[in-house]
Amino acid sequence: MVKPNLAVEASLAVTWHRRAVLMMVVSTVINSTGGLLVRSVEAASDWQLIFWRGLALAGAITTIVFFQNRKETVWVFQRVGGLGIIAGMFYSGTVTFYILALTHTTVANAVFTMSAIPFFTAIIAWVVLGERLSLATAVAILFALGGIALMVGDGMATGSVSGNIMAIVASICFACFVVVLRKKRSVNMLPATAIGALIALLVAVLMTNGDLQVPLRDLAICFVWGAIISSAGHFLVVFSSRHLGGAELTLLILIEFILGPIWVWLLINEEPSKMTMAGGVIVLIAVASHAMFSIRQTRKTAV
């Protein structure tokens, strides 16, 4: 017979799990609009987008950290230390090269390549942290790399290979960011996101020679993207990660990479090529299959 307190705890765990799943779905849906927002910009250059979105994101994340910690906000930022700065640099690379990718290739090419992040993370964690790389993961990685190769080949044929390369660099930067977070998991690393956004906007100032004037409409898009969508999405992912396993998170995040190209296809008529679709489908199937396999293995172990 199950003790009453254990039954209550089990019921609460199920409730929080369902809420976490709902939050992840909301997060992925709102984050999937990134490509659509970039395509909606009228005149701002890629580096101007990086600056204004970075400013909005840094301000929003710093505000969240302040309301979480109040008088200890400065100490929380200091506590991330050198690894926090390194994490911030990798996050800066992620947001910078992701926006550059979106402005140099199709949204489908960029987001399908980014969907391979779990595999880039697995490889880097294996090299840096010594985490075990299972046979199933290795096979999934090979399939994903095959899909990415198809998309890069399509980029070479259409003259947008630079965008594909930038998407790959963005994926590797984010994978490195995640590995650093794992290395320092005992510390609140949310400030590292703000640090990364600040680094990105400083680089953007140099790249634009201080020319940051953009139309009011573009400015509004940047602030909605950075201060609302990215910060809210990041917060929901961090909260959900407390109640969901890594494989479940990976599976749910795929919603973002599936919806991203659909929004621009339906609303802006940016239709991906057949080779891009083929490569993207291969990557998505590899990620989804690996995530479902991991979930089954976890459940078997629990039993």
Q: What is the pLDDT of residues 235-259, one digit of tens each?
A: 787 777 777 766 677 778 888 888 9
Give pLDDT tens digits for 36-86: 999 999 999 999 999 999 999 999 999 999 998 988 999 989 988 898 899
Q: What is the pLDDT of residue 11?
A: 67
Which are the contacts of 1, defined by CB distance < 8 A and separation ≥ 6? Answer: none
Domain assignments of the chain as residue spans, ordered by start: 42-302
CA dist., res. 97 & res. 46, Å (int) = 10
CA dist., res. 56 & res. 44, Å (int) = 15
CA dist., res. 166 & res. 170, Å (int) = 6
Q: Are 208 and 158 in contact (CB under 8 A)?
A: no
Q: Give me the sign of the Cα torsion angle 56, 57, 62, 68.
A: positive
Which are the contacts of 204, defined by CB distance < 8 A and separation ≥ 6? Answer: 47, 48, 50, 51, 54, 96, 212
Q: Are 40 and 221 in contact (CB under 8 A)?
A: yes
Give pLDDT tens digits for 114-166: 888 888 888 888 888 887 888 888 898 899 999 999 888 887 777 778 998 99
Q: What is the pLDDT of residue 4?
A: 53
CA dist., res. 197 & res. 75, Å (int) = 19
Task: Decide if pLDDT at 278 tops 60.
Answer: yes
Q: What is the pLDDT of residue 59?
A: 94
Closest Cα to residue 41, out of 49, 33, 51, 31?
49
Distances (CA, A) of 80 to 54, 58, 191, 194, 232: 20, 16, 7, 12, 21
Task: Decide if pLDDT at 222 tops 70.
Answer: yes
Distances (CA, A) of 16 to 22, 28, 64, 135, 302: 10, 18, 22, 32, 19
Q: What is the pLDDT of residue 236?
A: 82
Closest Cα to residue 178, out of 110, 79, 253, 257?
253
Pick the more confident residue, 286 or 17: 286
Q: Which two tokens stand for residue 149?
A: 């190769």
Instruction: For the chain, give the mean pLDDT.
Output: 86
